[in-house]
C-alpha cells in the first residue's frame, strides 16, 4: 500500500491546478515530488532551502497577500524548530496556513530522536484556533488534505504518518466515528491507532470511537458515547500520551469519570530499528493495549460495585 | 478638535507628535533612530495611503524592529493612518498603540512585531505572494535594526532572497551600532555576499535616503543601511 506521504504531492498538485490561491512552500524535503508541478506553477511551488524559520515566515507572508499556503516538512522541523514562527507569524499576525507534516512520532526509527516529533500536537495545543487532522489511512489523508486547504483562512495541521490502518473510513473532518458499541467503557482511537485498538478490544464490551480530527476535540460525540457505555474513557493516541487528556476531562467535566491516556512515552528510548519495535516499546501493540485497557476498566468496575 | 485628515503634517511636526506619546519635549537618539528613514519612505517613496490599506496594488511596509515604535506611530498619525487623538494613550490598556505594534489593531501596520527577526522572512513571503499573483508593481519594504540582524532567521531570508532574485524586496537597516558583536562594514558585506544591491547612507540625510531608496536594482533585492548616532553615545 502507498503511504499518506505518497498522496501529498499528487493531491496538492491537483489543488494547485484547480485553485489559484494555493501555494506550496517546502524546505527541500519533498521537493523532488513537485518538480513536474513546479514547471506548471513556478511561482506557487516554492522551495526555500533548508531554512525552516523562513519556511513558516514566508508561508505567513504568502497568506498576508491573500494566498492559501500549504507548508510541508518533517514534523520536528515544521512545528518544533520554528515554533515561534507558528505562534507569531501565523497566529499573532491573524493569518492562516495548512501545515502538513511527515515522519510523525517514529516513522523513521533508524533516523533516531532528531527525526521524531511525538510532542507536535501537544505543542500546538498551547496555541489558539488550530484544527488538527490525524488521518489513519492514505485515503483519509487525501480527504483531510483537501478539507484543510478548502478551510478558508483557518490554521490547520495535518499529521501524515507511515503508520496506517488497513481500511479507510468515511471521515468528515470534524466528528469522531462510532466504530463499535459497548456498555462498559469508551475507547477513543486516534488515526493510525485504530487497527491496534480494534484488535485489543475484540470481545470487550466497549464503545470504540475513531478520531481523525482531534482539534477541535469532538466532545459531543464522546459525551453521547458515555450515555450507554459509561464514563470510563481510554484515549489511545499516536503521539505523546495524555495529549488529549484535558480535552476529554473538559468534555466530561460535570460527570464523575475516569480517563486512561495511552500513547507515546516521554522518555527518549535511544533506540533505532523498526516502527513495530517502537510501537511495542511504547506499549501500543494490541497485546499491551488489551492488558492496560482491561486493567483500567476492571479497576473501574470494581470501584463501582 | 483637529481632524487628522484635514491637516497636513510636515517633518517638523513629528517631534510634537512624539511628545504626545512620551510626555517629554525632547527625544533622545534611541527614540528617533528610525524617524528620518520612516518619514522619507512614507512621505516620498511608499505608494500607500490611508485609503489604500487594502489595495492589492499598494506598497507594503513591514516594521520588523518593533521596539521603540513611537516614531512609527508618529509617522502613521502624520500621514493619516491613525488618528492623532490615539497618541496620548500610547501603551495603555485601551489603546491600540502598544510598545510593540499589532497589525490587527493599528490601521496601516502590515505586520505585528516585537520578537526580533520575523519581519524579513515574512517580507520574503509577501514578495513571493505578490509575484505569484502577477502583482509586479508593489514594492515590499522591511525595516530592521542592526542588532536585530543577530537573529539567525534574518540570515535565512537574506541568503534566500538574493539568489532567488526577489527584486521587489527592499530592506532598510537602521544601524545605531547597538549590536554587541559587530565588525565595520559587516552588515553591508553580508547582504552583498548574498547577491543584494547594497548602499550605505547617512540615516539623517533625507536626500541621501531618498536617492538610496529609489535607485534602480534590476534583478536583485535592495538593502539600504542607514547609519545614525550610536545608541550608546
CB contact under 8 A, B131 and A43: yes
Contacts of A57 in chain B (CB under 8 A): 118, 120-122, 124-125, 153, 157
pLDDT (average), residues B157-163:
98
Domain that holds residue A28: 4-159
> Would you state the pLDDT for residue A302?
66
CB contact under 8 A, B56 and A49: no
* CA A59 to chain CA centroid, nearest Å: 21
Search chain A and give the residue with CA nearest B109: A93
CATH of the domain at A92: 3.40.50.970
- Residue B5 scores a pLDDT above 60: no
- Residue B179 scores a pLDDT above 80: yes
In the structure grid, which three cell numbers stand for residue B232, read together?
A: 550608546
Scan residues 85-104 of A and list those with Cβ closer than 8 Å to B.
85, 88-89, 92-94
Nearest-angstrom CA–CA distance, A164 and A189: 12
pLDDT > 70 in chain A, percent: 99
- Is A63 near chain B, with CB under 8 Å? yes
pLDDT > 70 in chain B, percent: 97
Q: Both A142 and A9 in a single domain?
A: yes
Q: Both A150 and A213 in a single domain?
A: no
The string of pLDDT tens digits covering residues A265-296 is 999 999 999 999 999 999 999 999 999 999 99
- Residue A305 scores a pLDDT above 70: no
Q: Choose one of A98, A129, A159: the last residue of a domain.
A: A159
- Is B117 near chain A, with CB under 8 Å? yes
Phi-psi region of A103 (alpha: psi -120 to 50; beta: other; left: phi over 0): left
Number of domains in chain A: 2
CA distance B166 to chain A (A): 12
pLDDT (average), residues B121-128:
98
Q: Is residue B85 part of a domain?
A: no
Search chain B and give the residue with CA nearest A53: B153
The string of pLDDT tens digits covering residues A165-177 is 999 999 999 999 9
Nearest-angstrom CA–CA distance, A137 and A71: 21
* CA B65 to chain CA centroid, nearest Å: 8
The string of pLDDT tens digits covering residues B130-140 is 999 999 999 99
CB contact under 8 A, A43 and B160: no
Contacts of A60 in chain B (CB under 8 A): 121-122, 125
> Would you state the pLDDT for residue B81?
98
Number of domains in chain B: 1
Q: Is residue A19 part of a domain?
A: yes
- Residue B72 scores a pLDDT above 70: yes
Domain that holds residue B153: 33-68+98-227
Is the CB of residue A50 less than 8 Å from the CB of residue B160? Answer: no
- Is A57 near chain B, with CB under 8 Å? yes
Which helix (H) or strand (E) covers residue B171, if one does?
A: strand B169-175
Q: Choose one of A159, A188, A203: the last residue of a domain.
A: A159
Is it true that the peptide bond before A216 is cis, omega within 30 degrees of 0?
yes
**HEC letters along A42-90:** CCCEEECCCCHHHHHHHHHHHHHCCCEEEEEEEHHHHHHCCHHHHHHHH
Search chain B and give the residue with CA nearest A60: B122
CA distance A51 to chain B (A): 6
- Residue B233 scores a pLDDT above 70: no
CB contact under 8 A, B122 and A89: yes
CATH of the domain at B193: 3.40.50.970
- Produce one character per residue of A160-176: b if its CB has 16 or more CB atoms within 10 Å, e if not: bbebbbeebbebebeeb
Q: What is the ipTM for the molecules in this complex?
A: 0.96
CA distance A49 to chain B (A): 8
Q: Both A105 and A37 in a single domain?
A: yes
Contacts of A53 in chain B (CB under 8 A): 117, 121, 152-153, 156
- What is the residue-averaged pLDDT of chain B? 95
Q: Both A105 and A227 in a single domain?
A: no
> Would you state the pLDDT for residue B110?
98
Q: Please count the residue pairs, one from chain A and one from chain B, whose beta carbons lie less than 8 angstroms apart.
A: 106
- Is A24 near chain B, with CB under 8 Å? no
> Would you state the pLDDT for residue A290?
98
Q: Say which of A49, A53, A61 has its CB closest to residue B123.
A: A61
- Residue A147 scores a pLDDT above 50: yes
- Residue B1 scores a pLDDT above 50: no
Contacts of A20 in chain B (CB under 8 A): 133
CATH of the domain at A268: 3.40.50.920
pLDDT (average), residues A144-165:
98
Q: Is residue B18 part of a domain?
A: no
Contacts of B128 in chain A (CB under 8 A): 23, 43, 46, 58, 61-62
Say what the pTM is.
Answer: 0.97
- Produce one character per residue of A43-80: b if its CB has 16 or more CB atoms within 10 Å, e if not: ebbbbbbebbbbbbbbbbbbbbbebbbbbbbbbbbbbe
pLDDT (average), residues A72-91:
98
Q: Both A61 and A149 in a single domain?
A: yes
The string of pLDDT tens digits covering residues B181-231 is 999 999 999 999 999 999 999 999 999 999 999 999 999 999 999 999 998
Which residues contact residue A163 at a Cβ distance below 8 angstroms, ignoring those fewer than 6 apart?
Answer: A104, A107, A191, A192, A238, A275, A279
CB contact under 8 A, B111 and A23: no
Query: In this structure, what DSSP letter does residue B179 have?
Result: -
Q: Is residue A166 part of a domain?
A: no
Closest CA to A188 of A196, A117, A172: A196
- Is B118 near chain A, with CB under 8 Å? yes
Q: Both A12 and A150 in a single domain?
A: yes
Complete edge-to-edge strand list for the sheet that includes strand A97-102: A45-47, A22-26, A68-74, A97-102, A155-159, A130-133, A213-215
Q: Both A182 and A273 in a single domain?
A: yes
Amino acid at each position: 500500500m502507498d503511504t499518506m506521504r505518497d498522496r501529498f504531492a499528487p493531491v496538492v498538485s491537483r489543488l494547485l491546478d484547480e485553485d489559484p490561491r494555493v501555494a506550496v512552500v517546502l524546505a527541500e524535503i519533498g521537493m523532488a515530488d513537485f518538480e513536474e508541478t513546479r514547471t506548471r506553477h513556478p511561482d506557487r511551488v516554492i522551495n526555500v532551502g533548508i531554512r525552516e524559520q523562513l519556511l513558516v515566515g514566508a508561508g505567513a507572508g504568502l497568506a498576508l497577500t491573500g494566498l492559501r499556503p500549504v507548508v510541508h516538512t518533517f514534523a520536528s522541523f515544521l512545528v518544533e524548530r520554528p515554533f515561534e514562527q507558528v505562534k507569531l507569524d501565523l497566529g499573532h499576525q491573524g493569518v492562516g496556513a495548512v501545515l502538513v507534516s511527515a515522519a510523525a512520532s517514529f516513522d523513521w526509527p533508524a533516523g533516531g530522536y532528531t527525526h521524531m516529533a511525538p510532542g507536535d500536537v501537544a505543542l500546538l495545543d498551547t496555541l489558539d484556533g488550530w484544527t488538527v487532522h490525524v488521518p489513519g489511512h492514505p485515503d483519509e489523508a487525501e480527504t483531510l488534505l483537501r478539507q484543510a486547504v478548502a478551510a478558508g483562512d483557518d490554521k490547520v495541521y495535518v499529521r501524515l504518518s507511515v503508520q496506517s490502518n488497513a481500511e479507510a473510513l468515511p471521515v468528515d473532518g470534524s466528528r469522531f466515528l462510532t466504530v463499535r458499541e459497548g456498555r462498559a467503557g469508551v475507547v477513543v482511537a486516534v488515526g493510525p491507532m485504530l487497527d491496534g485498538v480494534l484488535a485489543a478490544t475484540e470481545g470487550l464490551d466497549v464503545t470504540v470511537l475513531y478520531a481523525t480530527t482531534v482539534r477541535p476535540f469532538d466532545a459531543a460525540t464522546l459525551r453521547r458515547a458515555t450515555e450507554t457505555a459509561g464514563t470510563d474513557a481510554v484515549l489511545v493516541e499516536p503521539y505523546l500520551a495524555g495529549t488529549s487528556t484535558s480535552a476529554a476531562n473538559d468534555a466530561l467535566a460535570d460527570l464523575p469519570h475516569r480517563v486512561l491516556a495511552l500513547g507515546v512515552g516521554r522518555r527518549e528510548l535511544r533506540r533505532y530499528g523498526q516502527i513495530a519495535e517502537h510501537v511495542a516499546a511504547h506499549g501500543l501493540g494490541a497485546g499491551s493495549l488489551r492488558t492496560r485497557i482491561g486493567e483500567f476498566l476492571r479497576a473501574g468496575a470494581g470501584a463501582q460495585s | 478638535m483637529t481632524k487628522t485628515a484635514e491637516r497636513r503634517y510636515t517633518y517638523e511636526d513629528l517631534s510634537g507628535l512624539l511628545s504626545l506619546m512620551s510626555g517629554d519635549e525632547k527625544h533622545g537618539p534611541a527614540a528617533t533612530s528610525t524617524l528620518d528613514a520612516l518619514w522619507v519612505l512614507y512621505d516620498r517613496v511608499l505608494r500607500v495611503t490611508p485609503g489604500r490599506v487594502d489595495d492589492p496594488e499598494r506598497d507594503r511596509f513591514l516594521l520588523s524592529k518593533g521596539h521603540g515604535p513611537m516614531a512609527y506611530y508618529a509617522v502613521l498619525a502624520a500621514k493619516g493612518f491613525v488618528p492623532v487623538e490615539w497618541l496620548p494613550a500610547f501603551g495603555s490598556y485601551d489603546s491600540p498603540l502598544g510598545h510593540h505594534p499589532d497589525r490587527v489593531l493599528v490601521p496601516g501596520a502590515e505586520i505585528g512585531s516585537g520578537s526580533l527577526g520575523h519581519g524579513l522572512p515574512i517580507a520574503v513571503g509577501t514578495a513571493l505572494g505578490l509575484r505569484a499573483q502577477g502583482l509586479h508593481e508593489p514594492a515590499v519594504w522591511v525595516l530592521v535594526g542592526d542588532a536585530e540582524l543577530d537573529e539567525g532567521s534574518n540570515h535565512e531570508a537574506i541568503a534566500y532572497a538574493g539568489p532567488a532574485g526577489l527584486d521587489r524586496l527592499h530592506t532598510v537597516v537602521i544601524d545605531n551600532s547597538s549590536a554587541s558583536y559587530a565588525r565595520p562594514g559587516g552588515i553591508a558585506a553580508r547582504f552583498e555576499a548574498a547577491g543584494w544591491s547594497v548602499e550605505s547612507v547617512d540615516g539623517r540625510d533625507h536626500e541621501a535616503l531618498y536617492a538610496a531608496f529609489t535607485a534602480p536594482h534590476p534583478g536583485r533585492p535592495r538593502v539600504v543601511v542607514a547609519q545614525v548616532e550610536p545608541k550608546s553615545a
